[in-house]
């Protein structure tokens, strides 16, 4: 059996390299001795027969309408995957498009798909810099960088975790992201799965559980994770977060 990771709209939603989260999952699966492929899906006709995980990256505001139109054709599939426990990772505007909606500075609104709770609203100023999050549910500390012009409200009951450095969802919430079952939305760029191997492995474990496979990180995974740990430690120091807090 081959695991299939769907990368949604990579031509529109990859401004920060976030679509490459799919490649991270596929590589780690292969290092564990499993077959894995990445399927680029720009429209519903591109969907493979089997979907084991979904990655949706971030795009520019100029592509919001085009991305939304493309995602509307996949709405029923996204909702079904979410209820069936297929791991879905959405980053930046990809996450915002799965929300209730996006409010723009001119007062107009881009209606979201309603897959996750909350909505994006204009921030007082663009937010950019290191982001460190103490996550719940076995995710440990997540690191990356944030670069967004909107806050996120309405997800206070289901965040990924608490912000240790940076802004996250904003509006004084001290929270970052949204987590609803196996659907995760986040501001973390990086790509987030390359900088946070624990999150990648939890997604892979869930994928394999659903597929009736056993996931055990391979020998090469351990070597690669040494580089990720060095990068994490450097970013934690730059963000002023104590190394002891990153477990």
Q: Give the residue extent of every domain in the chain.
A: 2-240
Average pLDDT, the chain: 95
Is residue 246's pLDDT more than 70?
Answer: no
Its CATH class, for the domain covering 2-240, is alpha beta
User: What is the rounded average pLDDT of the residues 180-202?
Assistant: 96
Burial of 61 (0-12, 13-18, 19+ CB in 10 A): middle
What is the pTM for the complete model shown?
A: 0.96
User: What is the rounded average pLDDT of the residues 157-184?
Assistant: 97
Q: What pLDDT was estimated at residue 243?
A: 59
**The pair of three-digit structure tokens given for residue 141, joined into one six-digit string:** 């500390």
**The pair of three-digit structure tokens given for residue 209, joined into one six-digit string:** 């559980």
How much of the chain exceeds pLDDT 90, in percent?
A: 94
User: What is the rounded average pLDDT of the residues 15-21?
Assistant: 94
Q: What pLDDT was estimated at residue 3?
A: 98
Q: What pLDDT was estimated at residue 155?
A: 93
Is residue 212's pLDDT more than 80?
Answer: yes
pLDDT tens for 106-133 read 999 999 999 999 999 999 999 999 999 9
pLDDT grade for 242, boundaries at 50, 70 and 90: confident
Name which of 204, 247, 194 is nearest 225 in CA terms.
Answer: 194
* CA–CA separation, 232 and 229 (whole Å): 5
Which residues, in sequence order, are bridge partners of residue 2? Answer: 35
Q: What pLDDT was estimated at residue 232?
A: 94
Q: What pLDDT was estimated at residue 146?
A: 98
**The pair of three-digit structure tokens given for residue 245, joined into one six-digit string:** 């807090």
SS3 221: helix
Is residue 245's pLDDT more than 80?
Answer: no
Other beta carbons within 10 angstroms of residue 1's beta carbon come to: 11
pLDDT grade for 11, boundaries at 50, 70 and 90: very high
């Amino acid at each position: 059996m081959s695991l299939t990771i769907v990368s949604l709209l990579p031509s529109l939603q990859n401004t920060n390299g976030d679509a490459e989260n799919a490649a991270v999952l596929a590589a780690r699966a292969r290092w564990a001795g499993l077959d894995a492929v990445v399927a680029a899906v720009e429209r519903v006709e591109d969907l493979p027969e089997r979907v084991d995980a979904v990655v949706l990256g971030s795009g520019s505001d100029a592509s919001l309408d085009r991305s939304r139109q493309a995602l509307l054709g996949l709405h029923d599939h996204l909702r079904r995957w979410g209820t069936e426990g297929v791991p879905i990772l959405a980053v930046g505007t990809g996450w915002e498009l799965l929300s209730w909606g996006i409010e723009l500075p001119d007062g107009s609104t881009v209606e979201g798909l309603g897959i996750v709770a909350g909505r994006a609203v204009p921030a007082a100023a663009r937010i950019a810099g290191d982001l460190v999050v103490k996550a719940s549910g076995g995710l440990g500390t997540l690191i990356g960088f944030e670069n967004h012009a909107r806050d996120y409200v309405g997800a206070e009951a289901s965040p990924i975790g608490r912000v240790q450095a940076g802004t996250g969802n904003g509006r004084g919430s001290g929270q970052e992201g949204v987590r609803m079952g196996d659907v995760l939305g986040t501001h973390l760029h990086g790509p987030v799965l390359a900088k946070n191997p624990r999150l990648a492995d939890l997604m892979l474990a869930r994928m394999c559980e659903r597929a009736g496979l056993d996931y055990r990180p391979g020998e090469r995974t351990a070597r690669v994770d040494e580089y990720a740990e060095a990068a994490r430690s450097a970013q934690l120091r730059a963000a002023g977060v104590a190394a002891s807090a990153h477990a």
